[in-house]
Amino acid sequence: MAATIEEPRRILWGAGTPRTMRAHWMLHELGLAYESRPIRPRTGETQTPDFTKLNPRQKIPVLQDGDFTLAESAAIVTYLAEKYGASKGLVPPPATRERGLYYEWCFFIMTELDAHTLYVIRKHGDLREIYGEAPNALRAAKEGFQKQAGVADQTLSSRGPFILGKAFTGADILLTTCLTSAVRREIPLTDVLRDYMKRTTSREVYQLASQANQIS
């Protein structure tokens, strides 16, 4: 009798934010079993000694895949897609032009849409009691988001339905979570981007991941 290969124990730390949503979403896209530890930022839960050992940055999400621990949402999305989803096309094959475009979009989304604009809006809007009010920074960040989101609009218009073309990939997970964050902050989006969001958020696994990402 052949030996049974035991699946690694997976634990995902974090829930309730767009960044944790990305990890939940990819896990559901791949149909992978995992345990959810729905800790939140700014509650002290990420600053405990045990969690700090997992991630000295004290940030969520964090994935434990057996004896391997990984932080940063875009890294988790790409790692899972590459390790468990090669047959599903959720990340293009290594050393191809398509993989290069995948990285280009992931880095663009994480810097221009997430860190440089949305996070500035969160810091000086949602968290202004901590970081202070900065109306000029808020205005510039919202304008910057719309400008950079326009690049995604142009790409989807020319080669959609997804950001790399016909195939849904991890880059679409990153982009969609940025766009849903923009909608919550009443940042106007084009019809092309709204139609794109309808396509990605209507996926059954998106609904499952959204439920898993909730804080009960």
- Is the pLDDT score of 8 beyond 90? no
pLDDT for res 137: 93
pLDDT for res 86: 82
- Is the pLDDT score of 4 beyond 60? no
State the pLDDT confidence band at 5, using cuts at 50, 70 and 90. low
- Is the pLDDT score of 216 beyond 90? no
pLDDT for res 158: 97
What is the domain partition of the chain in residue ranges? Answer: 10-89, 97-203
pLDDT for res 129: 85
Give the tens place of pLDDT for each residue, 52-89.
999 999 999 999 999 999 999 999 999 999 999 988 99
Q: Which residues contact 214 (CB under 8 A, 6 or more apart)?
A: 15, 16, 38
- Is the pLDDT score of 3 beyond 80? no
Which token pair is 98?
A: 């398509």
Specify the higher pLDDT residue, 123 or 136.
136
Say if CB 15 and CB 69 are below 8 A apart.
Answer: no
State the pLDDT confidence band at 6, using cuts at 50, 70 and 90. low
Single-letter amino acid, residue 131: Y
Which token pair is 197?
A: 């969001």
Give the tens place of pLDDT for each residue, 180-191.
999 999 999 999
pLDDT for res 68: 98
As a whole number, the mean pLDDT across the chain is 94
Assigned CATH topology for domain 10-89? Glutaredoxin (3.40.30)
Specify the higher pLDDT residue, 7 or 189.
189
Do domains 10-89 and 97-203 share one topology? The answer is no
Give the tens place of pLDDT for each residue, 95-105.
999 999 999 99
Q: Say how far apart CA 190 and CA 146 lie, in whole Å.
A: 9
Pick the CATH number of 97-203 from 1.20.1050.10, 1.10.3720.10, 1.10.357.10, 2.40.50.110: 1.20.1050.10
Q: Say how far apart CA 100 and CA 116 lie, in whole Å.
A: 22
**Opening angle at CA 146, ends 149 and 112, nearest 5:** 60
